[in-house]
Structure 1
Amino acid sequence: MSEEKYKKAARTIVKAGIFPFPINNTMMELLKLLIDEEQLNFIMAFTKKPSQTMEQLKKRSKMSKDEINTHVDKLAKKGFIFNQPNSKGIMVYRLMPLVMVGAFEYTFMKKIEFSKENEKIAILFAKLWDELADFIQDNYDMILPLFQRMLPFDRTVPFLDKNIEGEEIQITINKELEVPEEKVITTQNVEEIIQKFDEIAVGHCFCRHHQDLLSNPCKQTDIRENCFTFGKSAKYVAEQGFGRMISKQEALTILKASEKDGLVHKAWHPHSDISKAETSICNCCKCCCGIFDWWRKGTTAIINSTNFLSYIDKNMCIGCGTCMEKCPVDAIQGDDNNKAERTAEWCIGCGVCAHFCPENAISLLEGMRTVFVPPPRLRK
């Protein structure tokens, strides 16, 4: 009986997210480590509606307020329930998916001891992603249109400071892009984003932390504690022990250290609506970032909102290869003369190439656009 309940709960959790995870043995083994059997009925109360008030939950779950609060307290600490008030001050309880943003992120955002159980959880998450990749590849033609209809997962916030040679990064308007009638103004500087919020929390980078548990440490940076959340997301992170509240000054210090290591700033917005205030900022490396890694493995598309596009002046390029090495999405390759050549459709406008170019041969073209790079088709 409990096996069937876990399957029903798994379907409810998968439905709350955007990825079609298979309900298989790996999923069952993972959920049994993360969720107690007594919590399954409560999770299934979210089957038809992932966000509910207390009164709605009492009606759907047929539980008392005290019983609901007991389940909420336990599941919130595991990253499966987000419990924060809405804009009207009403407490809302939202079932979180496995990923983007859910149990995976919150599990590995907190400081984790290297135990056999935590290693097993990390292995099972990795195995589940591999099995999802198998499903995506086996059903590529059916899944691709679903990705094409999705809104951007995240928004790139570029490096706009001076490059490593102390020279200004040149920015010009991209005249090839059509200017929309209604232009959404987004904050293009991470320092300005930090200054907007009084409540800031920092946790561990869940992607790098996950790879640490898999004995695959990051090759780009030793920084771990640089995943930021803001506002009520920050309150949730601090309350549940996933991170700690910090000052604006400490946040800025961490961001500068992240830039020094070439980490890409990616902002997240509620429901992918970039007109709304940011909820979090990731600082992503090329080797561990989940989206970059899952894309290379054929699991997901890169769907990104950005306001910039790199431009390479080949007359100034000396073919040193720095930009090719640093680009997180491999959008820069060498041409027949070994000079850098950028694939516009892949460029997420992070500015990392411009920041590290020793010849200041790379500038940024300004203009809002959406980057869509489908998952590679790894099977015929």
Structure 2
Amino acid sequence: MTKDNKVVLRNKKGDLKKLVMLMNKQNKRFWPPFFPLLNMLDLVLTPEELNLLLRMRTDLYSYEQAFAVSAMGKENFNAIFESLRAKGFIGTKHETDQEQYTLHPFIVGWLEAIVPYMIGKPEEKEFARRYMSFFKAIQKNNFFPARNIMNIMTKFASVSNQSVGSVPESKDAKGKSKIIIDEKIVAPDSRIYPTSTINDIIMEYGSKSIIGQFKACMCRKVTENVGDPCRFKMKDDVACMIFGDPAKQYIKYGHARQISKEEAFDIIQKARDLGAVHSVFHEKDDTKLPQVALCNCCWDCCGQFRLYNMGALPLRYSCFYVAKIAEVSKCNGCGLCEKFCPTAAIKVVEKKVELDTRKCIGCGQCVHQCVRSVTELVESKRTVFLPMLKKSEIRITT
């Protein structure tokens, strides 16, 4: 709502800030309470809904306990509680025989639900506009000394943002890269790939639990709704995935659909061909805890890669591979490796490829896109820190 060209919130600004800080406590990913973020929340929350979230805080409740703390009548509570679950603010835990409920973090949690929830609603594009305004607000911190402070905070964080898994590949008879899908996930040297590689995760959850695919990639849908569609032409048929018990709530409310492991492998292959980097999100952003989601995004759409390439955020990843130039003499300077690299770690200079392994996160796109086998992936478990780009290095300006 606007009045005299000024935004008027329907909720109290202080209460919205409190909610942001509570959601930040649910994992290790900090979202600054800038006004555009408050404006996003205000668009989709009624005062009664916000009041219930502030009463529940970050505690874990049974349904009866949540009702008791709400101070509402039963009918009103049921309607508001169900609305908050459908919008992704309240998540479900299955740690006991009884379902329990708690406040979701921003990612993985609220945003994965609210973007599909908004599809087809009158406020859908306005929500996207406010979302991108938040990105631009973060980008304004790209100056000295704020840039240095952000770099230090990210570099010495207690955990990495997430882990990047690579799908093992081979070449078929025509020299085209293909994903190896094998029950044992055996590498060419007969060693078992780490459990954090994509095929292992799909095999585990596809066999023992459930896999859900989101109705829409939240990042891609938002950029599409502000008139900036994916430059790699990725669509919702290769949207991100959610694993295990957390998937049940997204499936229940129509934000995701349940898929088989075979469907998941097909989606990964298609996404990879289009330029996707497969980033794995862990519970509470702690790579020592179970995986909860798989991002199938290119560097143009993915929220984190987009912020990095806008010069808005530094990044820190747990990685399992590093690219290596195998035979530089085979390079014809086509530039596909450079086009698809999410961190600009690889470049073509005078028609020959050059690689900066310090910036390589081992996603494998340079290997996958190259038909001449110029590069290869080598196992290398490590943490990669990518400082915030200077303004002269920015790749995304919109």
| Shorter-chain TM-score above 0.5 | yes
Correspondence for 1:330 among 344, 355, 362 = 344
Whether the 8 Å contact between 1:263 and 1:284 is mirrored in structure 2 is yes
Aligned to 2:363: 350
Aligned to 1:19: 30
Correspondences of 1:215-226 after superposition (within 5 Å): 215-225=227-237, 226=239
Structure 1 residues 346 and 69 mapped into 2: Cα distance closer, same or farther (>3 Å)? farther
Whether the 8 Å contact between 1:220 and 1:286 is mirrored in structure 2 is no
Which amino acid in 1 is paired with 2:225?
A: L
Correspondence for 1:199 among 206, 210, 218 = 210
| In 1, Cα distance between equivalents of 2:272 and 2:341 | 14
Aligned to 1:71: 80
Correspondence for 1:123 among 112, 123, 129 = 129
State the 1:186 CA deviation.
2.3
| In 1, Cα distance between equivalents of 2:37 and 2:283 | 27
Correspondences of 1:1-380 after superposition (within 5 Å): 5-17=12-24, 18-24=29-35, 26-47=36-57, 49=58, 51-54=60-63, 57=66, 61-62=70-71, 69-86=78-95, 88-97=96-105, 99-109=106-116, 112-113=119-120, 116-135=122-141, 137=143, 139-148=146-155, 149-163=157-171, 165-166=175-176, 185-188=194-197, 190-197=198-205, 198-203=209-214, 204-225=216-237, 226-313=239-326, 314-335=328-349, 337-378=350-391
Superposed CA offset, 1:259-288 (max 9, x none): 222212121111233344321111111211
| In 1, Cα distance between equivalents of 2:168 and 2:324 | 14
271-280 or 223-232: bigger deviation: 271-280
Superposed CA offset, 1:117-138 (max 9, x none): 2111100111012112224647
Whether the 8 Å contact between 1:79 and 1:103 is mirrored in structure 2 is yes
Whether the 8 Å contact between 2:162 and 2:280 is mirrored in structure 1 is yes
Give the unaligned 5+ runs of structure 2. Answer: 1-8, 180-186, 393-398
3-state SS of 2:347 partner? strand
* TM-score, normalised by the number of residues in structure 1: 0.84
Higher relative contact order (CA 8 A, sep 6+): 1
State the 1:331 CA deviation.
0.8
Sequence identity (%)? 26
Whether the 8 Å contact between 2:273 and 2:369 is mirrored in structure 1 is no
Structure 1 residues 331 and 275 mapped into 2: Cα distance closer, same or farther (>3 Å)? same
Structure 1 residues 9 and 363 mapped into 2: Cα distance closer, same or farther (>3 Å)? same
| In 2, Cα distance between equivalents of 1:241 and 1:145 | 40
Whether the 8 Å contact between 1:6 and 1:40 is mirrored in structure 2 is no
* TM-score, normalised by the number of residues in structure 2: 0.80
Whether the 8 Å contact between 1:20 and 1:132 is mirrored in structure 2 is no
| In 1, Cα distance between equivalents of 2:74 and 2:147 | 45
State the 1:295 CA deviation.
0.8
Aligned to 1:179: none
| In 1, Cα distance between equivalents of 2:68 and 2:147 | 40
| In 2, Cα distance between equivalents of 1:55 and 1:268 | 31
| In 2, Cα distance between equivalents of 1:168 and 1:345 | 27
Give the unaligned 5+ runs of structure 1. Answer: 174-183
Structure 1 residues 298 and 125 mapped into 2: Cα distance closer, same or farther (>3 Å)? same
* Count of paired positions: 361
Whether the 8 Å contact between 2:177 and 2:368 is mirrored in structure 1 is no
State the 1:348 CA deviation.
1.0
Structure 1 residues 77 and 162 mapped into 2: Cα distance closer, same or farther (>3 Å)? same
